[in-house]
A = this chain, B = another copy of it.
Amino acid sequence: MKKEVPNIYDIAEFANVSIATVSRVVNGSDKVSEATRKKVLKVIEKFGYTPNVFAQGLGLKTMHTIGIIVPTLADDYMATAVDYLEKGLKRHGYDCILSCSGFELTEKQSKCDMLLSKHVDSLILVGSTYAGNGVDASATDYIREAAKKVPVFIINGNISGENVYATVCEDEAVVCDVTGKMIERGRKNIWFLTDSRSYSSNNKKKGYEKAVERAGLASNVIYVENDIHSVKEQLSGLKDKPDGIIAANDKIAVGAVKYAVSAGLKIPDEIEIVGYNNSILAMSSTPEISSIDNHTAEVCHDTVERIMHNLNDDGYKPSNKITISCNLVCRETTKVSD
């Protein structure tokens, strides 16, 4: 059963001193007489009270804690990013408080508020869902509000605002390039599959559309569920058959591979498939999926470094936006370009 933990009030009461005195003893201040110090320590010993973050927090400007918000950890990309961030921050002596917000605006807002109430030194929002759809600015007002209190870093989302720092991946450029190369290899009916209308997904879509339009081909954007079997079934239900697929994430690409196999389409001769995130899912598939690597490790490392420059106020002013370039990791679902 739960043990009652004595707090600083209890200690102050039993030692018959002020809580400020308890705090001074705990923090090793020399402004306390030896007799008082002994009296307080005796009570602390008796109650088993250990100086905790709350007491210490009173005497410190920072708790060396960073708040991380992620929509869900049940997503390989997000979980991996949090793992990198957590390890990177730890190396600088910072702990993390993690909260999962889901994808609804009200919950995103409330998790921000919750973490701010915990007095974090900075907030990191992981994933482009926090950047809204890039059109409606009111969907990101809560971020600019939070940034009035602490610096806010957003991973793979672009939001402008004071004290807001974004790391974005060059999604549009890489998808445009990869689609263009597929077209050069003779593909004429390339589809773009996505499950999201987020900032990042919209950029991938733009890159795809730019490439097909430039080649005078029709664009075909298909919104799917983020579920392997749903993707397979949805594609199987369509009359037309693509000769190329660009998927907004690897899970969708796995569904596309299963569709192609069941439809009897030879990979990569009759259909090429490209995934996104270069995750373990791309490797788990047979054939293994060529996937766009968005350099999660680099993005997270960079974010941690900029947070440290910011918090340490070391004279190096991190820029508000950094762009990380992406590249295709070729495996078995694409042909090699000349």
Q: How far is the CA of A97 from the CA of B74 in the complex (A)?
A: 17
Q: How far is the CA of A313 from the CA of B4 in the complex (A)?
A: 11
Q: How far is the CA of A280 from the CA of B90 in the complex (A)?
A: 29
Are A97 and B100 in contact (CB-based, < 8 A)?
no
Task: Give every chain B residue within 8 A of A57 (Cβ-Cβ).
Answer: 7, 52-55, 57
Interface residues on A, range: 35 or more
Are A100 and B87 in contact (CB-based, < 8 A)?
yes
Are B280 and A228 in contact (CB-based, < 8 A)?
yes
Number of copies: 2
Are A58 and B19 in contact (CB-based, < 8 A)?
yes
Interface residues of A in 48-65 (CB under 8 A from B): 48, 50, 52-63
Q: How far is the CA of A90 from the CA of B29 in the complex (A)?
A: 38
Task: Give every chain B residue within 8 A of A3 (Cβ-Cβ).
Answer: 149-150, 163
A79 close to chain B: CB less than 8 A? yes
Are B100 and A86 in contact (CB-based, < 8 A)?
yes
Interface residues of A in 13-37 (CB under 8 A from B): 18-20
A168 close to chain B: CB less than 8 A? no
Q: How far is the CA of A117 from the CA of B97 in the complex (A)?
A: 14
A233 close to chain B: CB less than 8 A? no
A97 in complex: contacting residue of B98, B163, B254, B280, CB < 8 Å: B98
